[in-house]
Structure 1
Amino acid sequence: MFTADNMRFLLELSRTGRIADAAKRLDVDQTTVSRRITRLEKDMGARLFDRGSSGWQLTEAGRRLVPYAEAVESTLLAALDATSSAGSGSLHGTVRILTPDGFGAYVLVPGLGMVRDRHPDLFTELRTSTTHDLVTGRDFDLAVTLERPSPRSVSVSKLANYDLRLYASRRYLDSHSAIESLDDLEDHTLVWYVNAILDVEPLRRLERLLPEDRAQVQTNNITGHYQAVRYGVGIAPLPTYIGNADPDLVPVLPDKFVAERTYWLVVPRELARLARVQAVIEILLDIVSENPDLRAPGQGGDSR
């Protein structure tokens, strides 16, 4: 007999791709997840997942079912949201947030105290990554992205613009040759992302502004860039919200090198009305407005 509860198992397995992870999120054993999926496939009369060594992947039939499962989930979450908020006067539950590593570590995490102050019964889960497919898994309640995703099933709005500038430590500049033009960078160590895994177009475009193949030190996250600069390894493009916050770092060629980038706020449409999601969005907007190196929409420099 078909039951909407089995749709939860479809969603969690589609989000995690692994029985063990789905079971953990659902607080059941792995056998229960497998049995529920088998039951749902029998009810639907179609195979919903392909099982492989890399995990469980949705079939076309499974993908067609996901929006309906999300609608069921959204309705249940909204009901629970309204009931818990009305009963206690405070927000409960968890808000899952995805962000690029730089924004998450250097902007959002320092501001999460606002969530605790305003909503002490609310939990936040933050996952950071700088990848092209950051939001394709839909395993989030709100996301901040460098690329503007398709608005097919999510609400997308501009969150902020920011600048990338070149930075070096005072120690590095004191011990290396002077830098007066971009050509002078040929004689210096540049730090950037690992080329083989850099698939975010706004970051790839930055390569056109720098000498080709000059990133002698490559790491897969912006914290590595910052630490390399901080300890005098070389020069790196950093968001000004990181570089300007460290008094030991100095902008390099400030009049000759600047790259503007945009952060986008992404919210699944079926979750946008949840009070706890709206509360975190409000706090996120406050965090952005209070950061001197982020320009909210409508502020000076927002030319897009």
Structure 2
Amino acid sequence: MPDQASEIDWDDFRFVLAIVRSGTVSAAAKQLGVDHTTVIRRVDRLERQLSAKLFDRRKTGYQLTESGHRVATSAEAMESTIVANQDLIGGSKAHLTGTVRIGAPDGFGTHFLAPRLVKFADLYPDLDIQLVATARLFSLSKREADIAISLALPKEGHIVGRKLVDYSLGLYAAPAYLARAPEIKSRDDLPAHRFVGYIEELLYTPELDYLPQVSPKIAARFRSGNLIAQYNATLAGFGIAVLPRFMAAGQPGLQPILPDSVSILRNFWLLMHADSKDLARIRAVAEYIYATVERERALFNPP
């Protein structure tokens, strides 16, 4: 039972979160603007009042105990409630700390999202952002990411999803390739050309199997499981590729092919685990991604 001799100071929970997020007492002290003895004293006091050991003190740093994990989870929930009320009442930007990991497809993550996270970093300078931009599925249940950008909703799991945006893809090639290749007037001319595409057996989702939708008579001669590699091979003049228009449109090194007759539509979904979607740091990142995509929606499905 908690120590009844004194009431719990709810501010002490901030010190627990600071250690969890920074890894050491000294880093937590720097983050909170206090000396390290204050951090130790506040955590010690909370442990006495809760009659529970929250950390194992090791040479490598403070490690959460089982009780510590439960307290840290509760502390994050309290922080999220405070932040929500602060934004609602005062309209001010809350002070957020910790880490948020975003898992995203390589094209969206590298080409679109990465350069646009700078403004978010300026809004929340003490929040660490990890962007894993690669062609794979992310398990939110296993905490491989806090937020995942996916091409489809998962069929099972305790996952909350919301459509982010529809995006279109088309055929593109470098002018240097088209200058030496046969003329293209219709889909019937495509089998005479060299294509760039995915390695079929390495596709992590069927939504990426584009070429059969363009024509059953074509096959890729250069293949990669990475969209950025396909993009760069196409820029270099290897051949024709199906590329997202948010990457290829406006690129002077790429020319659209049969834009009126070949167009593929796909969706991006933003996914979060139901247990963590309301945490302030995760919600702030998710809302920023929503708002950023909404402002530039025309980039994903241009006329």
Please report the TM-score for the alignment, with normalisation by the length of structure 2. Answer: 0.69
The reply to whether residue 100 of structure 1 matches residue 105 of structure 2 is yes
Q: Partner residue of 2:246?
A: 241
CA contact (8 A) 2:195 2:222 kept: yes
Q: Show CA shifts across 1:171-215 (max 9, x none).
A: 111121111112212111100011121131211265233334511
CA contact (8 A) 1:98 1:134 kept: no
CA contact (8 A) 2:191 2:217 kept: no
Instruction: Give the deviation of 1:29 after TM superposition.
Output: 8.9
Call closer, same or farther: CA 1:163–1:84 in 2, change over 3 Å: closer
Does the residue aligned with 1:216 lie in a helix, a strand or coil? strand
Instruction: Give the deviation of 1:81 after TM superposition.
Output: 5.2
The reply to whether residue 222 of structure 1 matches residue 227 of structure 2 is yes
Call closer, same or farther: CA 1:168–1:183 in 2, change over 3 Å: same
Instruction: Give the deviation of 1:135 after TM superposition.
Output: 4.6
Does the residue aligned with 1:248 lie in a helix, a strand or coil? coil
In structure 1, C-alpha distance between the alignment counterparts of 2:145 and 2:135, rounded to whole Å:
15
Q: Partner residue of 1:180?
A: 185
Q: Which amino acid aligns with 2:300?
A: L
CA contact (8 A) 2:96 2:126 kept: yes
Q: Partner residue of 2:198?
A: 193
Q: Which amino acid aligns with 1:233?
A: F
Equivalent residues, number? 238
In structure 2, C-alpha distance between the alignment counterparts of 1:158 and 1:92, rounded to whole Å:
27
Residue pairs, 1:98-177, within 5 angstroms: 98-132=103-137, 135=140, 137-150=142-155, 152-177=157-182
Call closer, same or farther: CA 1:275–1:139 in 2, change over 3 Å: same
In structure 1, C-alpha distance between the alignment counterparts of 2:186 and 2:96, rounded to whole Å:
53
Larger Rg: 2
Q: Partner residue of 1:257?
A: 262
Instruction: Give the deviation of 1:80 after TM superposition.
Output: 5.0
The reply to whether residue 79 of structure 1 matches residue 78 of structure 2 is yes
Pick aligned residue for 1:294 from 265, 277, 300: 300
Q: Show CA shifts across 1:238-276 (max 9, x none).
A: 000001141221111101111000001101111111111
Q: Show CA shifts across 1:131-163 (max 9, x none).
A: 356556332111110121136411111010000
Q: Show CA shifts across 1:98-143 (max 9, x none).
A: 1111110011101111211211111101112223565563321111
Instruction: Give the deviation of 1:97 after TM superposition.
Output: 0.5
Unpaired runs of at least 5, structure 1: 1-25, 41-68
Instruction: Give the deviation of 1:75 after TM superposition.
Output: 3.0
Unpaired runs of at least 5, structure 2: 1-55, 87-92
Q: Which amino acid aligns with 2:77?
A: A
In structure 1, C-alpha distance between the alignment counterparts of 2:219 and 2:72, rounded to whole Å:
49
Call closer, same or farther: CA 1:149–1:196 in 2, change over 3 Å: same
CA contact (8 A) 2:79 2:280 kept: no
Call closer, same or farther: CA 1:29–1:261 in 2, change over 3 Å: farther
Call closer, same or farther: CA 1:262–1:170 in 2, change over 3 Å: same
CA contact (8 A) 1:130 1:200 kept: no
Q: Which amino acid aligns with 1:125?
A: Q
Call closer, same or farther: CA 1:269–1:135 in 2, change over 3 Å: closer
Call closer, same or farther: CA 1:223–1:258 in 2, change over 3 Å: same
Q: Which moved more, 1:115-124 or 1:259-268?
A: 115-124
Q: Which amino acid aligns with 1:79?
A: M
CA contact (8 A) 2:141 2:157 kept: no
Q: Partner residue of 1:211?
A: 216
In structure 2, C-alpha distance between the alignment counterparts of 1:237 and 1:28, rounded to whole Å:
53
Does the residue aligned with 1:293 lie in a helix, a strand or coil? helix
CA RMSD of aligned residues (A): 3.3
Call closer, same or farther: CA 1:72–1:158 in 2, change over 3 Å: farther
Does the residue aligned with 1:115 lie in a helix, a strand or coil? helix
Q: Partner residue of 1:280?
A: 285
Please report the TM-score for the alignment, with normalisation by the length of structure 1. Answer: 0.69
